[in-house]
Amino acid sequence: MSTNAPAIVWFRNDLRLADHAALNAAIEAGRPLLPLFILDEAAPDRWAMGGASRWWLHHSLTSLRQSLAERGGHLTLRRGDSVAIMTEIAGQTGAAELFTGGSADPWARRVEQAVADGFGGKVARMRTSTLFHPDLVRTKGGGAYGVYTPFANACLALGGPKPPLPAPTEIRAAKPPRSERLEDWDLLPRKPDWAGGLRDTWTPGETGAMERAEAFLEHAMRGYAAARDRPAGDGTSMLSPHLHFGEISAVQLWHMAHRGSGGKGREIFIRELLWREFCANLLWHHPDLPEAPLKREFANMPWRDDKPALAAWQQGRTGVPIVDAGMRQLWRIGWMHNRVRMIVASFLIKHLMIPWQEGEAWFWDTLVDADLASNSGNWQWVAGCGADAAPYFRIFNPVLQGCKFDADGDYVRQFVPELARLDSRHLHAPWQAPADALEAAGVRLGETYPNPIVDLAAGRERALSAYADIRSSG
C-alpha cells in the first residue's frame, strides 16, 4: 500500500505531543498524519464525563489543536460512536494505519477493541498513559499484585521507564476530513457559570502542565515530604488533572523528578506516581473496581440511605469544619487536597455510613482529575474494601486531623469564611467552643453555621459495630 495513504493518530487520554509513543510511531511510519479526537459519550450513565472534566477537556483540546497547527498538523474533532466514526473516516481518507494509546478504563478498552476489529488496516496500540504496561508488572506466580508495596518494588526493580520521547518539530499532515467545531460541543457551563474558580486556578494543556511541573519540581520538591500534608499551603504538585488528561506523562515526571538531588521528597513523589500506577493496574485486572468491593464481604455492609446527610456532605454543610472546607474547595476549583480527600471520604463512609460509591460518584462529577482508576481505587482504599486497603477500623477523627494538619486554621478560614473570626483553639470543633467565644466570632450554631449532622463518637461506634457484624457473618 502506498505510503501516501494517511495514518490516523487517535488521541484519547493523552492530549500532548511530547512523549507520545503513538504519535511518534506514526511519524516514523512515514505517512501523512490525520490526528483525531472522538467525543464518544456512550459510557455507562454513572461514568459519563462530569461537568468539571468537560470544562477541562474543552481547554485541553484547544491547546492540543494549537500545538498541532504550529507544526503543520490539523486536529479533526468528531462526536458520536467511535466505531462508526472511525469506519467513516477510514473509508473517506483511505487511511492505512491507526495509531493510538491505551486505557485501563474497561469501557474504553471495549471501544478500543471494537474500533481495532473494524479497522481495515494495521492497528498499533501503544502505552501513553502509564509508566509500564499493566501486564508487565506481575507477581512471581504470574498473577496481579493486590498489595501496593510489593507492586511498587516490582516496578522499581524494572529500572524505571525509558526516557521520554521529544515532541515532533514538524508534522506531515494529510488532507483532513470534516471536523466539528469544539465550541458546538457545549463542554463549558452556560448559566449559571460555575467555572470561575477553575479558570482562576488552572491552565489546561501541555504548556500549562509543563509549567506547573517545572515550578513544583524546582521549588517545592525539597519540602514535599512535610508540606504535602498541609492543605493550606502549596505543598502538593497539583498535577493530577494534567496527568489524567495526558497533557504530561508519568514517564516525563519520573525523569524530571530524577534530575538533580531530590532527597526524601523525590522518593515520596515517585511513590505517589507508583500509587497511581497501582490503581491503573487494579482497574486493568478488576474491571468492576468502580462498582463492587474487592473484598466481597463488604457487599453485606448495612449502609444507610440518608439523602439529607449526603446532600449536606456534598454542599459542605456537615457542621464539621475540615470536612466542609474540603467539600467547598472541591466545588470551587474542581480539586481537593489529598489529605482532606481522605478525611472527607472517611467521614462519609464511616461516620455517616453512606456507601463509598456515592462519594466516588460525586467526586467523578466534580473533580477536574476524575480518573476512573484512581477514583475507584482510592475510595475503596478508604472504605477498607479494596486492595491494600486501610483497615475499616481506621476511622479518621476529623477534629484531630484538622488540628494536626491545619493547626492555624488557614485552610478552614479560606473555604468556611463564616468561621473566620473563631479562635484557632475552637475552629475545628466549634460546637465545643464557649458561648462567649462563639459570640465574639459572630458564630451562631444552627444559624450562621450548622451543628454537626452526626455525633462523631457515636458515628464511629456505629461503623465499628457494622464492621464487626459483617466479619462475624462472613
User: In order of start, what are the domains of the chain with their CATH numbers?
Assistant: 7-128 (3.40.50.620), 130-166+204-287 (1.25.40.80), 296-473 (1.10.579.10)
Strands 122-126 and 33-39, bridge-based pairing: unpaired
**CA pair distance 49, 60, nearest whole angstrom:** 15
DSSP annotation of 351: I
Give residue 47's pLDDT. 87
Phi/psi at 164 (5° precision): -70, 150
Measure Cα distances from 376 to 294, 357, 362 in Å. Answer: 11, 8, 12
DSSP annotation of 299: G
Give me the helix-helix angle, 356-366 and 372-383, nearest 10°: 150
Grouping H, G, I as helix, E, B as strand and the rest as coil, residue 42 is coil
**CA pair distance 354, 201, nearest whole angstrom:** 31
Q: List active site positions.
A: 272, 275, 303, 338, 356, 379
Give residue 391's pLDDT. 75
Give residue 11's pLDDT. 98
Q: Is the peptide bond before 192 cis (omega within 30 degrees of 0)?
A: yes
| Contact present, 283 and 104 (Cβ < 8 Å) | yes
In the chain (474 residues long), the average pLDDT of successive 10-residue segments reads 83 98 96 97 87 97 98 97 96 96 92 94 94 92 92 93 96 96 96 93 98 88 84 91 98 92 85 96 95 92 96 98 98 96 97 97 97 96 85 89 97 98 97 97 98 97 92 69
